[in-house]
């Protein structure tokens, strides 16, 4: 869990640097700090929405393996025959 927290912090810091660099912000200026905060929160909101959409799509997927009913029936028949053979 600690590694996840460290990873999240690293992503946030790197994301902040990328935003500041892309917008050519001077972080010594108060106005530029406000712009950075606004853009960072906007980015985080978009990131959260993207994760929510991704998880929603993943939940809707059919993750169950395809099952061939005839193969299952054959396997059950073999198991029953083996059990019957052991009883006799």
Task: Give the tens place of pLDDT for each residue, 5-48.
Answer: 999 999 999 999 999 999 999 999 999 999 999 999 999 999 99
C-beta separation of 37 from 21 below 8 A: no
Provide the residue ranges of all domains of the chain, joining segments of one domain with +: 2-62
pLDDT reported for residue 88:
56
Which residues, 6 or more positions from 26, have their beta carbon under 8 angstroms from its beta carbon? Answer: 32
Which residues, 6 or more positions from 20, have their beta carbon under 8 angstroms from its beta carbon? Answer: 27, 32, 36
């Amino acid at each position: 869990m600690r590694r996840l927290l460290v990873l999240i912090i690293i992503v946030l810091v790197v994301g902040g640097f990328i935003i500041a660099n892309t917008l050519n912000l001077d972080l010594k200026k108060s106005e530029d700090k406000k712009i950075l905060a606004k853009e960072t929160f906007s980015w985080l909101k978009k990131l959260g929405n993207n994760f929510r959409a991704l998880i929603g799509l993943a939940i809707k997927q059919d993750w169950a393996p395809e099952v061939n009913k005839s193969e299952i029936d054959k396997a059950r028949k073999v198991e029953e025959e083996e059990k019957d053979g052991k009883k006799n």
